[in-house]
Amino acid sequence: MGLGQIKGHAPIRRLLARAVARDALPPCLVLTGPDGVGKRRVALALAEMLNCEALTAPEAGGPVAFPDACGVCGACRRIARGVHVDVIIIEPGETGSIRIDAVRAAVDQAAFRPFEGRRRVVIFDDADRLVPEAQNALLKTLEEPPSASVFLLVTSRPHLLLATVRSRCPELRFGGVPTDEIADILVTRHHVDPTAALAAAASADGSVARALETGSGDFIQARESAAVVLRTLAAEPNPKRRLEAGKELAGARRTSRSSAAAARETLIRRLRALGTLLRDLQVVAAGGDRACLANADLAAELTELLPSYDTDRALRGFASVERAVNALTRNASPKVVADWLALQI
Ligand SMILES: [Zn+2]
């Protein structure tokens, strides 16, 4: 896939394409930004652009105004499959870290001309997992980079890299991918139903990976549970009954196979769905454009809830859901969190 086909990050793609076209690409770059926004994909597209056997003419009006990778030649396909001899991808091993021997092997190889491509590209994915000795080994190479090699450090946690490494490598900061582009990716590349795609994209915080987690049938189920809870809590002042609704929210029916971790994930999925419903309620309550609703298919149902959820209540509810999700990701008990939330919304 060429840089031109990637969604989002247009300024970064333009910058990289221009640098390649002018033969001014730095020998080392840090690609940083939130998880799941496509940093590794951009690194691979760059590797394709550097080694494609049949560069295509720039697309008129496209974001990449320079010859781009074709995405279909032998080199492009081998790079996409991770088997191109000159494009080395180094990831954390079973220990969770990238050890010095992996770096040494790549660095030794990088000293020679590429075998078949034009440029050797070494991609460190989760580069923050490079152990310090490995970073130091890399540093020596970065000080005198071999002319035909490019090192790409992909990480969402650049602060964990040694300052000496960071000072050698310009940083490209990725932001989140816009909601409509995430929805488009889900529909066109992953065949998710358009309604579910939009709902999942809206709750994904700019992360394609997170949207994919939620863009499945699981998400639709989670949204149904969330909608039931919202209806129950709408006009229910009785704390005891509110807690029952909370129990229902947390109540992933445990089969013998389902673990505590699965229950936690189910609850997080339901809460994310609940968050999108509360955000939509704010839009509807404020008389906003219904085309902006993440759950546009539930517009009628949301309107029915309006008398119970004014902007303030929806806003407070949304903030509570965010807190609840944060607590769950930090290992709080799903039951405690669900109880607390049922009393807040
Ligand atoms: Zn190609």
Quote the pLDDT of residue 256: 42
Residues with CB under 5 A from ligand 1 (ion): 52, 69-70, 73, 76
- What's the pLDDT score for residue 53? 95
Q: Say how many Å lie between the CA of residue 169 and the centre of ligand 1.
A: 27
What integer best gives the mean pLDDT of the chain? 87
Average pLDDT over residues 273-282: 90
Where do the domains of the chain lie, and which CATH numbers do they carry? 3-173 (3.40.50.300), 216-344 (1.20.272)
Who has greater pLDDT, 328 or 263?
Answer: 328
Closest C-alpha to 70, from 57, 60, 83: 57
Distance 76 CA to ligand 1 centre (A): 4
- The pTM of the full predicted model, rounded to 2 decimals, is 0.63
Confidence (pLDDT) at 230: 92
Q: How far is the CA of 77 from the centre of ligand 1 (A)?
A: 7
CA–centroid distance, residue 112 to ligand 1 (Å): 23
pLDDT at 204 over 70: yes
What is the C-alpha to C-alpha distance for residues 4 and 16, in angstroms, rounded to an integer? 11
Question: So what's the pLDDT on residue 19?
Answer: 92
- pLDDT for the residue numbered 6: 87
Confidence of residue 64 (pLDDT cuts 50, 70, 90): low
